Amino acid sequence: MKSVVAVCSFPGSYDTERNLALYESYMREAAAEGVEFLVFPECSLQGYPRAYLAEEEEAMIDDVAGSAESLSGPRVQRIEALSRELNLSVIFGMTEQGSRPGVAYNASVLVTPEGGVTGTYHKVHLAIQEKVFWRPGSDWPVYDTVLGNVGMMICFDKAWPEAARELTLRGADVLVMPTAWWLYDPTAGENDVWVDHYILFERTRAVENNRWFLSSNLVGDIGGRHFFGISQIIDPRGRIVATTGYDHPGLAIAEIDVAGGIQDAYKLNSGAHLIRDRRPDTYAVLGGRLAIEIDG
């Protein structure tokens, strides 16, 4: 069965109402194109924290904490209402208010027309600056959706092969990654090394697991950084099916056959051996049976 999916290179800001209006605009555009499943970037509801300055740490913490919203908050409810109206499943990134004061998470939220907020994921691999603002997650949930089983990662998570592999072993057919990935050297533009890493990580995570990979990145100058877009739909062979391209806001849309794409990858690789023929009995360090020899 084929499904129409879209990913968004989103020109975010710190004006939550503006961001919400952009969500609605892109959701309506996607629905008009027959899209069933749409992905927005990391922290795109409230804005990814501005570039870290130690002397402004307290003010930055206040900004992030002040923008946090619960999953029952008014803006999330607005996204739920749009999802129902447009019959469109959505994954978006936000700062989620925890159950206790002062606790917040970098969250990816799944909203479906049938169930509203159907799933959440809290970013596990926080970058150094991010640890100032958010608590780390501790689980890798997989959710049943119109596309099949979906597992979520956020940004830096894709640098760890264990993240995508854990989701795959838990049954994910599609790996979805809201992200806020910027240029390391703004003068290098599209030739920046972090652009190379971004694309390399995504194609590798797809092909090494024989799974679909959907990414959605911010685009433009936001908070002292330049985000470059390149939101992508990648098939289980590691091929880029659709992309917004470098520095272009908007949607990339593709009709995909989730099960068929996985089966095609299995045929290419003589079956599901990348999963089946693992040898966890030999991975002594990963299994905690031998000491790690690097990083102390």
Give the mean pLDDT per block of 10 residues along the chain (296 residues).
96 97 98 98 96 80 89 97 98 94 93 97 94 95 97 97 97 98 96 98 97 98 96 98 98 98 91 86 90 75
Amino acid found at 168: T
Strands (E), the chain: 2-9, 37-39, 89-97, 104-112, 116-122, 142-145, 148-152, 174-179, 212-217, 219-222, 225-228, 232-234, 240-243, 250-257
pLDDT the model gives residue 55 = 78
pLDDT the model gives residue 32 = 98
Q: What CATH class does 2-259 carry?
A: alpha beta
Phi, psi (rounded to 5 degrees) for 14: -100, 15
pLDDT the model gives residue 295 = 65
pLDDT the model gives residue 42 = 98
Integer-rounded Cα radius of gyration of the chain? 19
